[in-house]
Amino acid sequence: MVSELSEAADGETAAMALKILVAGGFGVGKTTLVGAVSEIRPLRTEELLSEAGQSVDDTEGVDRKTTTTVAMDFGRITIRSGLSLYLFGTPGQDRFWFLWDELSQGALGAVVLADTRRLEDCFPAVDYFEHRRIPFVVAVNCFAHARTYGAQDVSRALDLDRGTPVVLCDARDRDSGKEVLIRLVEYAGRMHTARLLDSVG
């Protein structure tokens, strides 16, 4: 859950960091969210979409997308002196999912970004975190011209476990992204505390 880090990304010493994953389908806004909230210039591993990938990357609904994450995105937010959030954006395409197991090691929790125009694209991420008992919130990225659905509608459509938070957000907006992360940290904290109490009960 909590990683001991000897050195932060910019060379400053940090005593502790909480690791958070940002996951979801192809083109849902993971890179945008990490970039919007990170206090440092985010590390990105993006490559141009190529003709070779057209047969495996479903770009319907995101036809203006020209790049894709091939390893991860990385950003950081300092909560207070000695405590930071480290954000790892996961690649969205199936062929890069082998990286998820490595990235999820020691994670406090995850944000699953969803696009209601392509809601089925976040099913694999929801299943992944549910099966590994990693706390997560679903953040519905409210794209322009997309039909608006309420949190309860999305929760039912995804068949989420009871209590899993669903929040509406704008991945481009720093304050909106920070609110999503706050909800995740609060929820993950409650889940980890409950599990700890169950283990000693």
Give me the pLDDT at residue 45, please. 61
Mean pLDDT of the chain: 82
Per DSSP, the three-state class of 99 is helix
Give me the pLDDT at residue 199, please. 86
Low-confidence ranges of the chain (pLDDT < 50): 1-12, 14, 49-50, 52-57, 59, 62, 65, 69-70
All residues at 6 or more sequence positions from 172 whose CB lies less than 8 Å from its CB, including other chains? 29, 32, 36
Q: Which of 150, 144, 132, 138 is nearest to 23 (CA)?
A: 138
Give me the pLDDT at residue 64, please. 54
Q: Which residues of 109-124 are buried (b: 16+ CB within 10 A; e: fewer)?
A: bbbbbbbbebbebbeb
Give me the pLDDT at residue 95, please. 63
At 167, the amino acid letter reads V
For 1-42, write each residue's pLDDT tens digit.
444 433 444 444 547 899 999 999 888 999 999 999 999 988
Q: How far apart are CA 41 and CA 144, in angstroms?
A: 26
Give me the pLDDT at residue 166, please. 98
170 token code pair: 């704008």
Give me the pLDDT at residue 71, please. 54
Q: How far apart are CA 4 and CA 33, in angstroms?
A: 25
Per DSSP, the three-state class of 148 is coil
pTM of the model: 0.79
Give me the pLDDT at residue 180, please. 96
